[in-house]
Amino acid sequence: MGSENTIDRITKREILSCAPGTTIYEAAKAMSQARCSSIIIVDDGQPIGIWTERDTLSVDFSDPESFGRPIASVMSTPIKTIHGKTNLGDAGLRFQLEGVRHFVVVDDSGKPVGVVSQSDVILRHGVEHFLVLRNVGSSVKQPMVKIAPGAALSTAVEMMGAMRADAAVVVGDHGEAPGIITERDLLRIIAAGGEMPPNVGAIASRPLITVNENDSLLSARNTLEERRIRHLAVVSDSGELKGLLSFSDILSSLQYEYVQRLDEALRERDEALLRSRKDLHIARKVIEASLDGIMICNPSGMIEFVNPAFSQLTGYAFDEVVGHNPSMLQSGLHDRSFYDRMWQSLHVQGIWQGEIWNRRKSGEVYPEWLTINVIRDEDGVITQYAAVFSDISERKKTEERIKNLAYFDVLTGLPNRRLFTDRLQVAIAHAHRHGAQMAIMFLDLDLFKRINDSLGHGIGDQVLCEVANRLQACVREGDTVARLGGDEFVILLPELDHVEDAAKLADRVISRVKQPLSVDEHELYVTTSVGIAVYPDDGLTDETLIKNADTAMYRAKDLGRNSYQLYTPAMNAKSFERLAMESSLRHALNRGEFTLVYQGKIDLVSGRMSGVEALVRWRHPEMGLVSPAEFIPLAENMGLISEIGAWVLKAACRQSQSWFDLGLPRVRIAVNVSTLQFREGDLAELVKQALQESGLPPQFLELEITESVLMQRVDENAQVLQELRAMGIHISIDDFGTGYSSLSYLKRMPIDALKIDRSFVKDITEDGDGAAIVSTIINLAHNLKLRAVAEGVETQDQADFLRQRGCDEIQGFLVSRPVSAEDLVSLFDRNLL
């Protein structure tokens, strides 16, 4: 591009103008009708401002009445002008440096003679030889703005303005064809007046015109010109949307191409000087117009020339660096060998290229991409060194952000599954090569879901971050703590001398995690279950080790949580058995495999049966009778316990009424209620429905709840219990003494009875402490005007002890084992003590 190619040749002579009082609507309408991207605001014959499609982003689209404001209130001022004799290269550089898309062209007297835009430079000044050399993908630099079709137009405008974008891609989540909304679309909306579109999807232009990232910029420019559009969507060979290409991107690429040509111009500098001073002038113009920094040094390595971009990037003016050694720019981050290799490459190959860290005048250290060429004369003697560099700080930041998103967990900052798997594979290869051991630990927080459900995910996230910090504090340098998702963490121990070392670390982790956490004035407690798998004993691949550590972790949960387990092959069989039981349990209710058995309660004064507890049993067609200790926890974890509990309640009520219909005396029937039934369902409504369907009077139904129910959502649960009490239902606390209840809770809750846990009753005739605890609970119950019921009574001595201490009722094998409804009939009307 020679200097004789001035913008006079491509200037549009027609100037669209309006008065300062013209409304935004009227100005937009005039621009739309004239198919013009700018309008000049003229007052008393003098241009005072300009309003362009870009300025539509400053209009308040949430308030259509703002379209009636005068154009002078939103115009850009002062007007950016450019002389008609400015060459196209300088014009392109000014567009880039001043960040505008329009210049008013003036003559020698300063009088406006026309308007020139970025697209005019791209379409009309003959740069095809540059455009054909670059592909589309290399020119897409700005992040793409994406917005959902249902978003409000004002939201799209805010996003485009914030990201300094002139267009946004409209992409839905349900497979809709993507579209695009541009500043020109905003201009048309203003010009149309009337009602605003309901959302962005209603005005998006479709189809989205695309170009392959490997196509040349020339073909992209031709498509833009033929289609009379300003943007193309860039896609990969697989059809993935990579970004948007605009005229601004193409213009930026042109400036890059000028710099790429600089190497060639410098290598031919001596010959160009001999040939023509004009060639030297061209080279200097290219250098000065370059957006990259350029530095030329003499054979001794002293700086003899820098371009304006050098000063802009480094902060050093021309006079501050000429005659000095480039070492004044060194950051101190590279050692001597780095520069030795650089000079070796220059002496042998005549070129060095790479990433380097340098220091600005302000002291800021920054990364740059640097190319140094050796320039020789006809005799091969070095005459200059030419260095071309660009600031790649933003590119490095982008790469770091991409790396973090790809390899690190956003919440905790820990490595994610992908990075953990990579490190695990490397550790396995290292252990295999050296015949060594390594281990992984799979961790899951026990009952973490309760925190999320009761206090919200915000608190839960803070808990996860604190647990992540605690885990990192437990491991050695070289170990890896990662978060796989949810409340699942893993620890990689790439070097393991003894399996006991992994067990010791598991102990430290468990102890550290269970320490109280203080989050937003909440004192919280969490524990963790840990599974350990060791290479090579427990697996030879990353998948096998992770799976087996996971299996060991579930084994730790089955054994009571807050503990660790090493993997053994028997655990694998246990996991398959668990899966089979889960599958069967999902269908057990519909297949009628559940049944009830009943255990009587005896009044210690009369010796007769005063109540019955209904207990659920599962008769599996193949496994036979499954212990409640196995399937009840499984049902709770699977979320089935509420359905099973509802069935038990209704079946127990029907059976109690059936006994009465046979002429047997009325006794209270007790049914256990799980914590999940309180949390997930309308318990009062369920009880009312069960009583109505069975005909059982409410005073003959007793619900047994655990102490843990009292400790959670106290106010809500108290209200539920008050509703049940108002219906006439009896309430008792099951397994009393094994939880963490408070006397204040007992006073607030409408309780009828305390059931003393069997663990206290077992040794009351031999253990003084056990006897004291039981006596205390009985006295506590009576002081609160509650009945005291002892569970697990198996001997006459235990019954006599409890009678002497004033216990009201007993339940256990001394009276009867759990039996069927038919077998229980024989116990009515009998004196059982």
At 763 the three-state DSSP class reads coil
Residue appearing with tokens 């220091």 = 359
At 322 the three-state DSSP class reads coil
Query: What's the pLDDT at 138?
Result: 80
Parallel, antiparallel or unpaired: strands 167-170 and 179-182: antiparallel
Residue appearing with tokens 């949960």 = 557
Rounded CA separation 30/675 (Å)? 70
Rounded CA separation 355/675 (Å)? 62
State what percent of residues in the chain have pLDDT above 70.
91
52 sits in which H/E element: strand 46-52
Query: What's the pLDDT at 457?
Result: 87
| pTM of the model as a whole | 0.42
Query: What's the pLDDT at 100?
Result: 79
Query: What's the pLDDT at 770?
Result: 80
Which of 778, 813, 765 shows the shortest CA–CA distance to 602? 813
CB atoms within 10 A of CB 631: 25
CB atoms within 10 A of CB 391: 20
Query: What's the pLDDT at 263?
Result: 45
* The 3-state secondary structure of 768-781, one letter per residue: HHHHHHHHHHHHHH
Query: What's the pLDDT at 407?
Result: 84
Query: What's the pLDDT at 676?
Result: 78
φ, ψ of residue 652 in degrees (nearest 5):
-65, -40
CB atoms within 10 A of CB 628: 14
685-724 pLDDT, tens digit per residue, is 999 999 999 999 999 999 999 877 776 777 778 888 899 9
- Which residues are 259's β-sheet partners? none
Side-chain-side CA neighbours of 721 within 13 Å: the count stands at: 27
Q: What is the DSSP letter of 329?
A: G
Which of 83, 81, 128 shows the shortest CA–CA distance to 107? 83
**Mean pLDDT (10-residue bins), the chain, 833 residues:** 65 88 92 88 88 86 87 88 82 76 85 82 63 78 85 88 86 81 88 84 87 86 83 88 82 57 51 57 72 90 92 92 92 92 91 93 93 90 92 82 78 91 94 93 88 85 93 92 93 89 89 88 88 92 93 86 82 61 84 92 90 93 84 82 91 94 92 82 89 95 84 77 92 77 70 90 83 90 92 92 94 91 86 70
Q: Which two tokens stand for residue 511?
A: 């102890």
Which residues have a Cβ under 8 Å from the Cβ of 223 and sit 6 or more positions away? 209, 211, 232
Query: What's the pLDDT at 129?
Result: 64
Query: What's the pLDDT at 649?
Result: 94
Query: What's the pLDDT at 150?
Result: 87
